[in-house]
Structure 1
Amino acid sequence: MDKTKMENVTNNLLNLIFHVNNKLFNHSEIVKNNAIPPSHMKVLFHLLNIKSTSVSNVAKCLDISKPNMTPIIDKLISEGFVHRYTDSQDRRKLKIELTDKAYKFLEEKKIEMKNNLSERISSLEEDDLINLDYHITEMSKIIKKIK
């Protein structure tokens, strides 16, 4: 792809991210209804996708410093959302995984978010909803290919 087309796609994608963020997600409402800070929520949602991993891997993937990870993980453990254990292959490594309580909590959060999204897009006409669904499906297929 030539440079101009790449720049156009990049600009359009960035604009789309901003629009989705501003129009569909009310961050203050999401945070307000949580007793858990946003950084802790990021860790929970990250673990939801990868199941079990090392604390240092979570820190790296979420761009959280290792010293900041300790209190986050400690708080999540004390709240009963995360279980910490020693890696069976390398006892020097600590691994973490979600508890059943965390899975239930995150499922409730997903339902809240879906209901919120549903409410926000309910003002669209049926043709727009059909169009939106088609394009989201197609974009998802393409985005999954990104390395």
Structure 2
Amino acid sequence: MDTQLLGNISENILGLFPMVKKKFFTYGPLDFPLHLSPNNFQALLLLREVRLSTVSDLSKQLNVSRPNMTPLLDKLVELGLADRQSCDSDRRVVNVAITEEGDAFCEQVFHAFSNKIQERLVLLPEEDLLHLGETLNELKRILLKIDNYTL
């Protein structure tokens, strides 16, 4: 495997994160009805994807210590975005599920993000938009393959 190629790809991927943030999310605030920390929001997005999880699994997936998960989840539960549920088979295990309100909130946030991105993209010529769309589709297709390979 060409290590220089891998290095260049990883540098480009890492360089995308701050560029996307700067280009799309520094031109005026997003107006959300709730104020969540980035960690709260990440936990909520993960719950949206998995629907139901143990606190331990969420902790591992988010790379957040189990004791630090408690206040993150407390905030989501307090806002009605998630719900704690005891496990029938093991009372030591606590499950967390996203609520309908949590799903609706995620939809609202995605809509706001989408609008903010579209406001910036509209400035590009159609040729660039077409090329960007094709490139992003190809990137997504390739990235989805990563989990299919094992080390």
Q: Higher mean Cα deviation, 85-94 or 109-118?
A: 85-94
What is the CA-CA distance between 1:100 and the residue it aligns to? 0.6
Which ranges in structure 2 are unaligned for 5 or more consecutive residues?
none
Which structure is richer in relative contact order (CA contacts within 8 A, separation 6 or more)? 2
Deviation at 1:33, TM superposition (A): 6.1
- Separation of aligned partners in 1, 2:27 and 2:84: 29
Q: Is 1:70 matched up with 2:70?
A: yes
Aligned to 2:111: 111
Given that residues 31 and 37 in structure 1 are in contact (C-alpha distance below 8 angstroms), is that contact kept between their aligned partners in structure 2?
no
The count of residues paired between Structure 1 and Structure 2 equals: 147
Q: Which amino acid aligns with 1:59?
A: S
Give, as a single letter, the amino acid of the residue that structure 1 aligns with 2:116.
N
Q: Does 1:90 align with 2:85?
A: no
The alpha carbon displacement at 1:59 in A equals 1.3
Q: TM-score with structure 1 length normalisation?
A: 0.89
Indicate yes or no: 2:40 matched with 1:40.
yes
The answer for unaligned runs of 5 or more in structure 1 is none
Matched, 1:52 2:52: yes
Identity of aligned residues (%): 31
- Between the aligned partners of 1:27 and 1:49, the Cα distance in structure 2 is 28
Counterparts of 2:96 and 2:31, CA distance in 1:
24
Cα distance, 1:66 vs. partner? 1.3
Q: CA deviation at 1:31?
A: 8.1
Q: CA RMSD in A?
A: 2.0
Report the Cα offset of residue 84 of structure 1.
0.7
